[in-house]
Chains A and B, each alone.
Chain A
Amino acid sequence: MTATANTACIPVLPRGVRLHHDRVRKVEVLLGPERTLMLDGIGHAILSELDGRRSMATISGDLAARFGAPVDQVSRDVETFLTDLADKRLVDMIDG
Protein backbone atom coordinates (compact mmCIF):
# COMPACT_ATOMS: atom_id res chain seq x y z
CA MET A 1 0.00 0.00 0.00
CA THR A 2 1.34 3.42 -0.92
CA ALA A 3 1.37 5.91 1.95
CA THR A 4 1.81 9.64 2.38
CA ALA A 5 5.53 10.24 2.87
CA ASN A 6 6.91 10.53 6.39
CA THR A 7 10.19 9.40 7.89
CA ALA A 8 8.69 6.13 9.19
CA CYS A 9 7.72 5.12 5.64
CA ILE A 10 9.76 2.53 3.78
CA PRO A 11 10.71 3.87 0.34
CA VAL A 12 11.07 1.36 -2.48
CA LEU A 13 11.52 1.46 -6.24
CA PRO A 14 8.26 0.31 -7.82
CA ARG A 15 8.01 -2.40 -10.46
CA GLY A 16 9.40 -1.11 -13.76
CA VAL A 17 11.72 1.47 -12.15
CA ARG A 18 15.42 0.75 -11.74
CA LEU A 19 18.85 2.28 -11.39
CA HIS A 20 21.10 2.00 -14.41
CA HIS A 21 24.56 3.15 -15.45
CA ASP A 22 24.36 5.02 -18.76
CA ARG A 23 27.67 4.24 -20.45
CA VAL A 24 27.20 6.88 -23.14
CA ARG A 25 26.68 9.81 -20.79
CA LYS A 26 28.82 8.19 -18.08
CA VAL A 27 26.21 8.94 -15.42
CA GLU A 28 23.87 7.01 -13.19
CA VAL A 29 20.24 7.28 -14.22
CA LEU A 30 16.87 6.27 -12.83
CA LEU A 31 14.86 4.52 -15.52
CA GLY A 32 11.08 4.61 -15.25
CA PRO A 33 8.23 4.01 -17.66
CA GLU A 34 8.79 6.48 -20.53
CA ARG A 35 11.06 8.72 -18.46
CA THR A 36 14.69 8.87 -17.44
CA LEU A 37 16.25 10.95 -14.68
CA MET A 38 19.96 11.72 -14.57
CA LEU A 39 21.33 11.46 -11.01
CA ASP A 40 24.24 13.09 -9.25
CA GLY A 41 26.37 11.05 -6.85
CA ILE A 42 24.25 11.85 -3.80
CA GLY A 43 20.99 11.09 -5.59
CA HIS A 44 22.39 7.74 -6.66
CA ALA A 45 23.68 7.05 -3.14
CA ILE A 46 20.20 7.63 -1.70
CA LEU A 47 18.40 5.45 -4.25
CA SER A 48 20.99 2.68 -3.84
CA GLU A 49 19.91 2.42 -0.20
CA LEU A 50 16.29 1.53 -1.00
CA ASP A 51 16.03 -2.12 -0.03
CA GLY A 52 12.33 -2.30 0.83
CA ARG A 53 13.15 -3.01 4.49
CA ARG A 54 14.59 0.17 6.00
CA SER A 55 12.60 3.31 6.74
CA MET A 56 13.48 6.75 5.42
CA ALA A 57 14.72 7.69 8.91
CA THR A 58 17.04 4.67 9.09
CA ILE A 59 18.39 5.30 5.60
CA SER A 60 19.02 8.96 6.47
CA GLY A 61 20.92 7.95 9.60
CA ASP A 62 23.06 5.48 7.67
CA LEU A 63 23.85 8.04 4.97
CA ALA A 64 24.69 10.72 7.56
CA ALA A 65 27.17 8.32 9.18
CA ARG A 66 28.68 7.33 5.83
CA PHE A 67 29.12 10.91 4.61
CA GLY A 68 29.93 12.45 7.99
CA ALA A 69 27.11 14.96 7.56
CA PRO A 70 24.57 16.30 10.10
CA VAL A 71 21.62 13.91 10.44
CA ASP A 72 19.02 16.69 10.31
CA GLN A 73 20.42 18.03 7.03
CA VAL A 74 20.60 14.57 5.46
CA SER A 75 17.09 13.70 6.70
CA ARG A 76 15.66 16.89 5.21
CA ASP A 77 17.40 16.33 1.86
CA VAL A 78 16.43 12.64 1.70
CA GLU A 79 12.79 13.34 2.55
CA THR A 80 12.53 16.15 -0.03
CA PHE A 81 14.29 14.09 -2.71
CA LEU A 82 12.24 10.92 -2.21
CA THR A 83 8.94 12.77 -1.82
CA ASP A 84 9.57 14.53 -5.13
CA LEU A 85 10.27 11.17 -6.81
CA ALA A 86 7.17 9.68 -5.15
CA ASP A 87 5.11 12.52 -6.65
CA LYS A 88 6.48 11.44 -10.05
CA ARG A 89 5.55 7.81 -9.20
CA LEU A 90 9.19 6.75 -9.40
CA VAL A 91 9.32 5.79 -5.71
CA ASP A 92 6.67 4.03 -3.63
CA MET A 93 6.22 4.82 0.06
CA ILE A 94 5.11 1.86 2.17
CA ASP A 95 3.72 2.29 5.68
CA GLY A 96 6.45 1.46 8.19
Chain B
Amino acid sequence: MAWTTPIAVEIN
Protein backbone atom coordinates (compact mmCIF):
# COMPACT_ATOMS: atom_id res chain seq x y z
CA MET B 1 0.00 0.00 0.00
CA ALA B 2 1.35 3.42 -0.96
CA TRP B 3 1.18 6.40 1.37
CA THR B 4 -1.85 8.62 0.73
CA THR B 5 -3.57 11.31 2.76
CA PRO B 6 -5.36 9.54 5.64
CA ILE B 7 -9.15 9.68 5.73
CA ALA B 8 -11.65 9.34 8.58
CA VAL B 9 -15.31 9.78 7.63
CA GLU B 10 -17.96 10.05 10.30
CA ILE B 11 -20.87 7.61 10.01
CA ASN B 12 -23.99 9.37 11.19
Residues of chain A at the chain B interface (Cβ within 8 Å): 29-30, 35-43, 45-46, 63-64, 67-69, 73-74, 77-78, 81, 84-85
Contacts and interface: CB of A to CB of B under 8 A. Distances in A.
Contacts of B5: 42, 77
Contacts, number: 51
Chain B interface extent, by class: 10 to 19
The 8 nearest A-B residue pairs measured at CB: A69-B3, A43-B6, A42-B6, A67-B3, A40-B7, A37-B8, A81-B6, A36-B11
Interface of B: 1-11
| Secondary structure class of chain B's binding surface, majority of residues | loop
A77 B6 contact: yes
Nearest to B5: A77
A81 B8 contact: yes
B3 A37 contact: no
